[in-house]
């Protein structure tokens, strides 16, 4: 963090995410976001979820694919281990982990994911419970201590 507070660093991370998304045309973001709901993508995601449990790469994500109900969500991913949390812990900055999660709001809005999430590993929960509804509204729980990070 090199002389910056956790809050200052988190604001920078969020702004980098915002700038990255703004650097691409909105129609491309929606196109690529829509691909996340394709039969091909979902098949690969199911396969990768199963493979993640082999822990071939110890610092990677471990997650489960969750079948959607077609009404409240199209599909979900339950992350049981987080590569970002592992990386930050190894860098001696685990306190930054919860501040990365709000960036998902930017991606969901830009890519039309309709992300719903109530908990994260970074905040001490047993899993990150991502649920996706194509074109749905982003509904991500953000602790009050992080509200200043996502304020627009």
Position 43 scores a pLDDT of: 98
Please list, residue by residue across 50-62, b when 16 or more beta carbons sit within 10 angstroms of its beta carbon and e when fewer do.
eebeeeeeeebbb
Kindly tell me the sign of the dihedral angle through the C-alpha atoms of 4, 61, 77, 124: negative
What pTM did the predictor assign?
0.89
Distance separating alpha carbons of residues 92 and 142, to the nearest angstrom: 24
**Residue-wise pLDDT tens digits, 54-88:** 999 999 999 999 999 989 999 999 999 999 999 99
Two tokens at 43?
Answer: 């098949």
Nearest to 73 by CA among 137, 133, 116: 133
Nearest to 28 by CA among 132, 111, 137, 114: 111
Average pLDDT of the residues in 117-141: 95
């Amino acid at each position: 963090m090199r002389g910056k507070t956790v809050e200052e660093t988190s604001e920078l991370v969020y702004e980098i995410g915002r700038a990255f998304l703004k650097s691409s045309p909105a129609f491309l973001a929606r196109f690529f976001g829509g691909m996340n709901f394709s039969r091909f993508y979902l098949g690969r995601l199911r396969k990768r979820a199963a493979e993640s449990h082999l822990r071939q790469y110890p610092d990677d994500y471990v997650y489960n694919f969750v079948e959607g109900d077609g009404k409240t969500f199209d599909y979900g991913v339950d992350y049981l281990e987080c590569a970002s949390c592992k990386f930050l812990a190894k860098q001696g900055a685990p306190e930054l982990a919860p501040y990365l999660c709000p960036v998902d709001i930017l991606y969901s809005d830009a890519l039309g994911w309709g992300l719903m999430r109530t908990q994260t590993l970074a905040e001490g929960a047993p899993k990150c419970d991502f649920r996706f509804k194509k074109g749905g509204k982003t509904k991500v729980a953000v602790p009050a201590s992080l509200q200043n990070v996502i304020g627009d």
